[in-house]
Chain A
Amino acid sequence: MSDSKYFQTTKKGEIHELKEELLSQREDKKKEAVKKVIAAMTVGKDVSMLFTHVLNCMQTHNLELKKLVYLYVMNYAKNHPDRAILAVNTFQKDASDPNPLIRALAVRTMGCIRVDNITEHLCEPLRHALKDQDPYVRKTAAVCVAKLYDVNPELVENQGFLNILNDLLGDSNPMVVANAVASLTEIDEVSKKEVFRIHSGNLNKLLAALNECTEWGQVFILNSLCKYTPRDSQEAENVCERVAPRLQHANSAVVLSAVKVLMKYMNSINNNDVIRLFCKKMAPPLVTLLSKEPEIQFLGLRNINLIVQKRPEILQYEMKVFFCKYNDPIYVKMEKLEIMIMLANEKNIEEVLLEFKEYATEIDVEFVRKAVRAIGRCAIKIDRASERCIQVLLDLIQTKVNYVVQEAIIVIKDIFRKYPNKYEGIIATLCANLESLDEPEAKASMIWIIGEYAERIDNAHELLNSFLEGFKDENSQVQLQLLTSIVKLFLKRPKDAQQMVQTVLNLSTQESDNPDLRDRGFVYWRLLSTDFEAAKAVVLSEKPLITDTTSHLDESLLNELILNISTLASVYHKPPETFVTKLKGLNKRGLRNKEEEDEDEPDYVDDDNMNNQQQGGQQQQQQQYQQQQQGGYQQQQQPKSGNLIDLDLSDLGGALPNTNNNNMYSPQQQQQQQFNGNPNDISFLGGGGGVEVQAPVNKVVVFGGDRSQAIQISGAFTRFQGRINLEMNLLNTSQQAMSKFKIQFYQNSFGISPADQILSCGAIEVGQSTDVTIPISCNGQISNPLNPVIDMAMMVLPSQERFYFKMNFPLLCLLTETGRLDRESYLSMWKSIPESNERSVEIQVRLPHVDVDSILRRLNSKNIFEIVRKKAPNQEISFLSCKTESSVYVLVELAFNISTNTCRCSSKTTSPDIMPLFEHNLNLLINNQI
């Protein structure tokens, strides 16, 4: 008999039958019935109506039945908080049961019921349980504190549970210690105060527990050791000594946490011999990670990447273990490749190149490309290997496999940059492959090579001319490059290119919509027509050297990540704060409640949202892919000579800002980052599957509202994911189709202007409307005095007709996501601003009752961040900070008076002009009128 039979009750009257069974006198019957209820719950059926009946089965001595009931209660109490209170009596009784199993079970379950009115009743049993004589109960209770903190932090603090928890660090039982550590770590992460501090007093207790607790407990303790900075070299050495045996643990999480502790404490050790000894100990366990499951391999590799950057000596002789197996998952292969490049040196390059060459014939296109690129990167990294690398690349070009050839040409371009005048002999071979190029980057690379070495390629003008024929259909990257290369050719061999340069300048300046291309065209034109020699000096100037920095993290970030080995931060190679803010937030509780309300809605996701999400994801994936394609060579500091013209190099993958995470498979990453900056964004409330959506925008009609004009314009300024946009809707009320639109802003008080004056929308047929998003930049001229109204003009291009209108710009859109100050900086800034800049106004709160939490949540959503709040009788004082796009900080102190429904707003800022407007907006925001 198996449990699957419980799933087979689909007949009518099932609920009624279950009720009968639950009321039965026989325990085995009841047990069967509860199992059926849970089975129904498992498949997602609504069995909440049986709540009271199941609850009645709770009072039993049968532990199995009790456990089943508890399981049910845990999941359903949320929907029936009023009824869950019925269970409290039994919980309390069970919490003092003679059987430790039952005591622990009761405390555990009560902690899992996330209902406020249960938490009050939980305090007493929990206090007893924390001091229970049985360690099993104590360790359960230790965790329960963290659960309670998640629901009601004030309660935990007021009841002094945090102190008890800290006392448990000295418990005689290692498991209790481990759980206390786990609990404290979690509370510390979300709490504003420092609740968990390692000092020399409890350090030894933790080290003692480390040897005896379970593997998971070891991970908790090891991670917590990283909070402590040793006093001197000797102490650091002692800790390392005691942690090192953990490297021999079968659990890879333990191993990596131990590595983290060693990496941190090694910084404090003076004795190089000792450091070398620990480095030597770390290598074998790291290598062993690579013989585990692919998931573990991947996570290990991401961390090894950091470790190799920090201390390359650890794995310098282990190159072979990173060789890719044919059937490794792609995500593992990519990471291995990255580390192979890092470990490559003059001694092993021969071996490494053979491997890369092997990979370049594999089936997976993405991997093959990366392998080809890896060869190029090795050439740039290791001077003496460049010749060998070129040879391998030429071999690969001989395979005539389309994407291999294109990728090879892209990297050869970079090798040319690094070693000028060394390998030009191979240009002929490259030129032989011109026809097969169809990717913009490869084409652009080839064109760059032709232009750069025009004087040595006899038929350079013919080659470039062949590209010129299809100029209009080319990608802008290719167009830009072609323009520059033809100009170079002209400067070097004026006779051959006279005609061509004229054509390309015409095409670029007159027939192109692309402002970059036009601008560059004009610059060249003017330069060439003014002074030929000057043009030569500028365009053909010496180029700065490039180095391979693709995989190198910024020193300070690397050091920070090393301290966070084995966390998400170390996997994504992003600063740890990125991940903490996800939960940390002032209004965490409030949000949580809201979220739960939302979740009461049916369990499905809005399809539209899901699709959006996916599209977004794909786009980003593409973006990221492109980034990856850009290679990521960083130019060395550019000399400030007139080298601007040769900016084409950046188009070619020269100076792309290095993001360091080119290889991560996380389409949402970018979204992630933006999201984190804005923790209280509306998307937090979205019920569905973690999908971020922009709040609906209320566009206001700003022009042609009575339809008497040819066009009706409505719009609104928004701020979403750190960017300011003007969301517009254009309705064609004229008698003919409209096609091109241009928008202009007149000089205004905020210095804002459209990032691109030409709107990115197609033609609008008669009677049709279209939505268009206009990205706004805010570094234009600022006009005084302050006026929130912005004059604008919309021009419809074919008819050259202009429409003038005004829009109000909401100041709040200017507030950035990074305006949060910490306490110290807030205080020091407050002090540094002169008294004369201080203002104070009274704001009347016209809401039924003052709910400070929800008001602050609204402020937070507009990037006005609370730093700290003080409570006084009848008064709550909140200190907030925000920052405008022009980096003006506004510091605000809001004193809410609950009894008089008022709020006194005192503020200080370096730029007091904006304050009246700011206060006006604040008033609206507090009264929920925005």
Chain B
Amino acid sequence: MLSSFFILADSGDILIEKHWRGLMNRSICEYFWDQVSQSKQNGSSIPPIISTPKYYLINIQKQHIYLLGVCQSEVSPLLVVDFLQRIYETFEEYFGRTITSVTIKENFVHVYQLLDEMTDNGFPFTTELNFLKEMIKPPGVLSNVISSVTGTSNITDILPNGSLGAIQWRKTGIKYTQNKIFFDIIEEIDCILDSNGYIVSSEINGEILCHCNLSGMPDLTMTFNNPRMLDDVSFHPCVRYSRWENDRVLSFIPPDGNFKLLTYRVKGINQFPIYVKPQISYSEGSSSMGRVNVTIGAKGYNVQNKLSIEDVVATIPFSKTTSSTNLTANIGSFGMDEQTKILKWNIGKIPKEKTPFLNGSVSLIAGSMTPESTPSIMLQFKIPQYAISGLTIDSLACSERYKPFKGVKCTTKAGKFQVRS
């Protein structure tokens, strides 16, 4: 399994190191960093496994930091990647959404304590958030104040009960004055469209997040309107698989607090609420330039359904030989990054009466070749109160005596939404 674990800042500095099999020379990180810089130069991304004569370096790259696991013998790399991912998610849960080198430094004691609890001898063990939070209190203004005033520590000195039983994700004796449970259905559209709007490939990746404040040991049963359309589902460990297999019913004792109940995938959706008409073409000749005409709009049936498409952003990576742009947009603002030549067009909400368009021309650096391909457009957007797959929760029954307050919220988002032009 893992021999060592490092957290590196995006400058290459080592922030945290942890060793399970004797001390590992720090220089392994230098080697790793060389590889990172090399691939940065080539404009490619660093492969998840790097093999050196002696070690395997398995890494994940996050926005501001790198997590690096060093292994010496045969391991399951997926396990390591998954685990590194989980470590990062735990940090997010503890220290807030963006983890930078400063975050790590500010919380290094917590980081070490968490790592100690999550791993032993390089094996991943307890990553259940609820259990971790019982063992190690997350930092926060309040807990800091309390600990500095009363001198109590942020580490519990009793073992949380139930932590090792069959239901590891929930402790006993939870009490709320108001029992409530909320579900968030979030669906992401991953698709490739060609310039005519024809769907080359598409799938919907959905997840149901749950926020649960229920007393006692509630045993919940949830049904969907059309469970058979889910192509693949993966569950939180609390879900009883056999019930799903036999009756297509979700039966589970929920963890306390926030958790991801299930993720699913739906195939065969071929109607999207939004359309993109990209017309980008380069003219041959000495004064080479490109004509750009991109229209993005909501499809008719949205209006009937009163859907609103929000936070629309189109990203167009123009050719590196682009020198300047002469574009106008009727809605929203746009700007091109001078270095990467990536144009971002922030449209915001698509209005009912107007259709957003971006047109004009881009000129190429004099003497450069006409690009052989026109750029693909990446689209981001969000549609609140809408699940594109049509999935809805039919009912939710609770075994406890109280009647919990229930709520469901849907959102559809663009995942990897790509339009070829």
Contacts and interface: CB of A to CB of B under 8 A. Distances in A.
Nearest to B24: A599
Contacts of A323: 192, 200-201
A1 interface: yes
B106 A2 contact: yes
A691 B241 CA distance: 48
B79 interface: yes
25 contacts: A2-B107, A3-B106, A67-B155, A134-B159, A136-B163, A147-B121, A216-B79, A220-B123, A249-B234, A249-B235, A250-B234, A250-B263, A251-B82, A288-B234, A294-B45, A320-B201, A321-B201, A331-B45, A358-B420, A363-B319, A569-B74, A596-B23, A610-B34, A666-B49, A689-B52
Contact of A291 (B102, B154, B190): B190
Contacts of A35: 109
A78 B23 contact: yes
A329 B159 CA distance: 44
Interface stretch (A490-498, A680-688, A801-809): A680-688
The 8 closest A-B pairs by CB, nearest first: A284-B232, A690-B54, A361-B373, A2-B106, A64-B153, A295-B48, A689-B27, A605-B27
Contacts of A6: 108
Interface string A31-51: 000010011001010000000
B102 A256 contact: no
A275 B417 CA distance: 36
A666 B49 CA distance: 8
Given A2-B107, A3-B108, A690-B53, A111 B121 contact: yes
B116 A248 contact: no
A285 B168 CA distance: 25
Interface in A186-228: 186, 189-190, 212, 214-216, 219-220, 223
Contact of A1 (B25, B71, B144): B144
B263 to A, nearest CB: 6
Contacts of B120: 108, 140, 143
Nearest to B82: A253
A157 interface: no
A625 interface: no
Given A215-B237, A690-B52, A99 B22 contact: no
A864 to B, nearest CB: 22
Nearest to B191: A325
A248 B235 contact: yes
A568 B49 contact: yes
A571 interface: yes
A567 interface: yes
B157 A63 contact: yes
A62 B155 CA distance: 9
Nearest to B128: A214
Contact of B73 (A144, A362, A579): A579
Interface in B237-272: 237, 241-242, 244-245, 260, 262-263, 265
A622 to B, nearest CB: 14
A669 B53 contact: no
A299 B78 contact: yes
A568 B155 contact: no
Interface stretch (B13-21, B171-179, B398-406): B13-21
A654 interface: no
Interface in B33-68: 34, 44-45, 47-56, 59-60
A223 to B, nearest CB: 7
A614 B242 CA distance: 53
A672 B51 contact: yes
A7 B104 CA distance: 12
Given A323-B192, A683-B53, A99 B23 contact: no
Nearest to B81: A295
A399 B282 CA distance: 14
Given A143-B123, A399-B372, A689-B28, A7 B105 contact: yes
A256 B82 CA distance: 12
A567 B164 contact: no
Given A253-B76, A299-B81, A4 B126 contact: no
Interface in B306-327: 319
Nearest to A249: B234
A86 interface: no
Nearest to A593: B22
Contacts of B231: 284, 287
A288 B124 contact: no
A38 B109 contact: yes
Given A147-B20, A610-B30, A692-B54, 8 more contacts: A35-B109, A111-B121, A143-B123, A216-B125, A250-B263, A285-B232, A296-B78, A692-B53
Contacts of B163: 136
A750 interface: no
Contacts of B192: 323, 325
Interface of B: 1, 14-17, 19-23, 25-28, 30-31, 34, 44-45, 47-56, 59-60, 71-79, 81-83, 85, 102, 105-110, 112-113, 116, 120-121, 123-128, 139, 144, 148, 151, 153-159, 163-164, 166, 168, 190, 192, 200-201, 203, 205, 231-237, 241-242, 244-245, 260, 262-263, 265, 319, 372-373, 376, 378, 415-416, 418, 420
B126 to A, nearest CB: 7
A215 B260 CA distance: 15
A182 interface: yes
A189 B112 contact: no
A3 B107 contact: yes
B117 to A, nearest CB: 10
Given A143-B120, A143-B121, A38 B232 contact: no
Contact of A223 (B76, B83, B123, B245): B76
A55 B50 CA distance: 38
A219 B76 contact: yes
A486 interface: no
Contacts, number: 301
Nearest to B52: A690
A847 B186 CA distance: 73
Interface in A93-139: 99-101, 108, 111-112, 114, 134-136, 139
A342 interface: no
A112 to B, nearest CB: 7
Contacts of B416: 325, 327
Contacts of A39: 108
Nearest to A146: B121
A216 B124 contact: yes
A149 to B, nearest CB: 10
A331 B47 contact: yes
Contact of B123 (A65, A216, A596): A216
B47 to A, nearest CB: 5
A88 to B, nearest CB: 19
A140 B119 CA distance: 10
A245 B234 CA distance: 10
A764 B197 CA distance: 68
Contacts of B113: 67
Given A295-B48, A569-B74, A604 B27 contact: yes
A99 B158 contact: yes
Contacts of B418: 325-327
Nearest to B59: A295
A766 interface: no
B53 A248 contact: no
Contacts of B155: 63-64, 67
A542 interface: no
Nearest to A108: B120
Given A4-B105, A216-B83, A287-B265, A250 B235 contact: yes
A299 B232 contact: no
B265 A288 contact: yes
A566 interface: yes
Contacts of A216: 79, 83, 123-125, 127
A632 B52 CA distance: 26
A14 interface: no
A665 interface: yes
A671 B200 CA distance: 42
A361 B372 contact: yes
